[in-house]
Structure formats: C-alpha cells, structure tokens
Amino acid sequence: MTTPDSQAQIQVYQQDPNELKAWIKAQARELGFSDCVIAKPDAQAELVRLQEYLDRGYHGDMKFLEENLEKRANPTLLIPNTKSVICVRMDYLVDLPKPRLVPYAPNSAIIARYARGRDYHKTMRGRLKMLAAKIREKVGEFESRPFADSAPVFEKSLAESAGMGWTGKHTLLIHKKSGSFFVLGELFSSLELPFDEPASKHCGSCTACIDICPTQAIVEPYMLDARRCIAYLTIEYKGIIPEELRRGIGNRVFGCDDCQLICPWNSFAQKTNIEDFHPRHGLDQVSLLDLWQWDEATFLSSTEGSPLRRTGYQSFMRNIAIGLGNAPFDPQIVQALQAQQNQYDEIVQVHIDWAIQEQLAKSR
C-alpha cells in the first residue's frame, strides 16, 4: 500500500541530487542569502580544537560551551535523520568601512556593525523557514530545522567544511570574494544532497588582526582568549572588567570590529541587501554622553528587537562609563558621571569611579 508519506519520499528521490542542490542554492540567493553550501553533518574534527580552548579556560564565563559536545560534533544526535546541512550566510555591512588603524571620534559610542539594526537571529531563522517551505513545495515533505546561533551547533566548522570560507587567524570565517562581515545560519535536512568541498586557506604570513587587537586577545594564530576580547567583555561578561583592559576597550560599548577592519580580505567585503541590518535609533552615530542619559526604560524601548538587549542595561551602562573614562577630558563628562553616582549596582559604580579618576587625571 502506498501512503502519502511514501509518495512524498518517492517524489524526493526522483529529483536529481545535483539539480536539486543547484536549485536550492538559487532559491537561497533569491531569499537574500549571500551564499549557500551543503555540508556533511559531521564536525568531529572541531572537537579537538574546542577541547584545547576549554582546557585553557579561554571561554571565560561561557559555560554553555562546555555542554553538549557530542551533539556539536555530530548533528544527527541533535536532530535525528539529518542527512545534510544547508549552510547560508548573510552579509551585514551597510557601508564599506575604512580600516580602523587608530582610534577615531573618541566621544562617539562604537557599536559592532552587526548589532546596529534588527537582531539577525530572527531574520535568519525566518528566511531559513521560507527556504524550507520552498523546498517542500518542490520535493514534498522532508524533515528540517533552522538554526541561527541558537543551539549546540559548530556552525562555522560546518560552513568551512563545505567551502563557505576558511578560518582566519582571528578565528572568524573569511570568504575570498566577500571578506568576513557576515553571519551564518543552518537548515538541518533529511535530504540526501551532494556535499560541497572545503576552500583553501589564504591568510599566509599576515598577522594584521593579531597586531591590531586592542587587548591582545588573539594569543596566537587561530586562538582567541575571550577573557581579553572586547566583544566578550562588553556583551557576554557581566562582572567587573579588569582595570588593565579598560583603556584598550576605548569607546567600544558593544562588540568590536577591529580585527575585521584591518583584514586585507575585507577590501572585498560586500554590502548587504537586507533592510534589517540598517542602523536603528541612530546607533551608528550616537555619542557616549547621549547614551549615558538613557534610563532603563529608554534602553528597553531603544533596543527592542536589537542584539543590544543581550548585554542588559546595567552592563551597557558599565561599558559606556568605560568609554567616558577613555574620552578626552571634558568637564561635562565629569559632571555627567558624578550626577549618576550611586544610581546603579555595585559593578557599574566601580567603573564610574574609575572613569571619573581617568578624566580628572587628564585634566591636570
């Protein structure tokens, strides 16, 4: 007896795998993805590197990285019947930036470029669901599940294994024709599709990203100590930032792009065609003092649907206090800092006190 499910399976297997793969990639591009590759559901090779990273303690407070290691390495343990992983990327640059060789606009609040618009996780998952729906219309029912940095998935390793790019010395993925200013997503699939081949590596002897890092977080090629990384310190970490790292943070209040801005391959970076990445609330040109005036209600309303929510209000103000401390001396900054003393929790207060001391030291 032929059931609807078996009919659907017959319909799937009547498709030529290579033609179906090419069609899926074309549909992905129509949906706004910059690239699409098909990866084998196997990331075992990444376990050794991750274990060394964990053993060194470079993950800091990100204890979730210690969990579900087997599921990370074997996607079929996470989603049974996964036969292929459809990996996609989205470019997110609105404007092509110049390398940040020296600090600039010291009174501006620098927010990482991916975080100035809408939270990409929602955009990515939504379009992956649309891609799955398109495939389902063509081949019949199949199992699928979208991910966007939302589960124990070695997304960079999977994408790299299928030619999305290579891992640079800053540990980010680099594409030869598009640089590194992009985010990744995956559609786990029960379709048996031909896998793409990995790309060759092209960092050579370049150490620009290592040399430029303001806090020397790239401790050796391809190894990042998150405990020193500005992205980790300003987003993930909720505690008191070590004093010896505060000046290096400068005016970066959420994330850091410096290792990407200096990378020669980002001379080929592509601009986004997705509206969601365009800045909201003027976050691409806001001053430190303007942000310092935000109360929690303003923070919540101005970061609705934004990645900035991840850091939380208190940590965000901690970051801005550091930026104000690092700014050139200005009596207005000292006054603004003093006016907000004892308005926040103890962690923020430590950074306010430091910022005032830094400002006063520059006034002499």
Residue 149 among the catalytic residues: yes
Strand pairing partners for 188?
Answer: 85, 145
167 is in an annotated binding site: yes
Tokens of 145: 């599940």
Establish whether 25 is an annotated binding residue: no
- H/E element holding 322? helix 313-326
Count of CB atoms within 10 A of residue 181's CB? Answer: 25
Give yes or no for a contact between 311 and 234, defined as CB atoms under 8 angstroms apart.
Answer: yes
The active-site residue, picked from 5, 55, 61, 149, is 149
Selection from 93, 98, 161, 124 nearest residue 28 by Cα = 124
- Consult the annotation and say whether 201 binds a ligand: no
Is 229 annotated among the ligand-binding residues? Answer: yes
Does the annotation flag 283 for ligand binding?
no
| 36 labelled binding-site residue | no
Q: CA 154, 92, 124, 29 torsion: positive or negative?
A: negative
Q: How far apart are CA 153 and CA 330, in angstroms?
A: 46
| Residue 143: closest CA among 60, 290, 41 | 41
CA distances (Å), origin 138, targets 18, 24, 299, 318? 14, 10, 45, 51
184 is in an annotated binding site: yes
Q: Is 257 annotated as a binding residue?
A: yes
Q: Which positions make up the binding site for tRNA?
A: 238
Residues belonging to the binding site for cob(II)alamin are 72, 149, 167, 173, 184, 256-257
- Annotated binding-site residues read 72, 149, 167, 173, 184, 203, 206, 209, 213, 229, 238, 256-257, 259, 263
Which residues are identified as catalytic?
149
Binding-site positions for [4Fe-4S] cluster: 203, 206, 209, 213, 229, 256, 259, 263
